[in-house]
Amino acid sequence: MRRKHLLSLAALMLLAAGPQAAYSQKVKAAKADNIPRLANGRPDFSGIWQTLSEADYDLEPHAGRRDAPPGPGVVDGSELPYKPDARAQKERNFAVRATDDPRLHCYILGVPRSVYYPAPFQIFQRDRDLTLVHQFGHQVRTIHTNGTLHPKEADQQFWLGDSRGRWEGDALVVDVTDFNDVTWLDRAGNYHSPDMHVTETWRFVDHDTISYTAIVEDPQVYTKPWTINVLLNRRREKNFELIEDYCFTLRYDKFYPNKAEK
C-alpha cells in the first residue's frame, strides 16, 4: 500500500510539473529546413502562439495554493536573486496580490510577462519589424528589426519598454529598455524597477514551437542577472483566431473576498 501511495504521489508531481518539466532541459534549435521563413530568408514567427507553462502564476518554484496551481518555476537557479530590501517588497506585493496585481486594473502586462501570460497572442512579421498583438487587454508591441537604435530622449519610459531586435543566425535577439515601474512580472508580486533591461531570444525548436528566453537585469532590485525559459506553442486549431477580449476593474476583494493562502 505504501509503495502504491508513493507511486501515485510521484505521478501527481509529474502532472503538476506538466509541460514545464521539458522547459528546464536544454532545448535544441530547429533544423534549418524545418523553420518557416520570409522571402528574405529570415525565420518567420508569424502566427498565433501561447505558452502552456505556469509561469504567470509564479516565476519561482511554488506549491499549489488556492489561487495558483503548483509549478517548478521557469527561472535558471530556481529563485530570483533579490536584494534583501527588494525581497521584502516582493513579499508585501504577494500579500496584496488579490487586489494590487496591475492586470486586475486592466493595465498593460509589460515585458516579459505578456509573452508567458496564459492567453494567446498573434505575431505579424515584416522585413523591418514584428508586431505582437495580445488578446489580453488588446496590447500591441512592436519589435523593430531595421537597425534603428533606442530613442535617446531622457527619462523616456514605456509600459512595454522599447524593443530593438537583431538576427544572430536563425535566432531573433531583442534588446528591451526604457520601462516604467508599474508592471509586475507575475501574479505572485515579483517586480522590477525602471532600470530593468531585458534581452530576449526567440528561436524555433520545430515548425510549431518557439523557445523563448529572457535575461533580466535590474541592479536596483536584483543582485545579478537571471534568466526565464519557456516554450511557446503554435495554436493550430482550424480557424483559430483572437477574440475581442475585455477587462473591467471590478473590486474583486469586495465582491469576491480573497481566500488565497497567505
Q: What is the pLDDT of residues 208-225, one digit of tens each?
A: 999 999 999 999 999 999
- Tell me the CA distances in angstroms from 221 to 11, 50, 101, 158, 226, one per residue in order: 37, 29, 18, 19, 12
- Proportion of the chain in helix, strand, coil states, percent, rounded to 5: 20, 30, 50
Percent of the chain's residues with pLDDT above 70: 85
pLDDT at 123: 99
β-pairing, 226-234 vs 197-206, is unpaired
User: What's the mean per-residue pLDDT of the chain?
Assistant: 88
Average confidence (pLDDT) over 102-110 = 94
Is the peptide bond preceding residue 194 cis, with omega within 30 degrees of 0? no
Average confidence (pLDDT) over 176-202 = 98
What is the DSSP secondary structure assignment for residue 239, as one 8-state letter?
A: T
Domains and CATH numbers, the chain: 42-241 (2.40.128.20)
174: Cα within 13 Å, side-chain hemisphere: 25
What is the DSSP secondary structure assignment for residue 30, as one 8-state letter?
A: P
- Number of neighbours of residue 202 by Cβ within 10 angstroms: 22
Average confidence (pLDDT) over 60-82 = 93
- The least confident of 127-141, 145-159, 225-239 is 145-159
Residue 115 has pLDDT above 90, yes or no: yes
Q: Using 50, 70 and 90 to split pLDDT, how confident is the model at 157? A: very high
The predicted model scores a pTM of 0.85
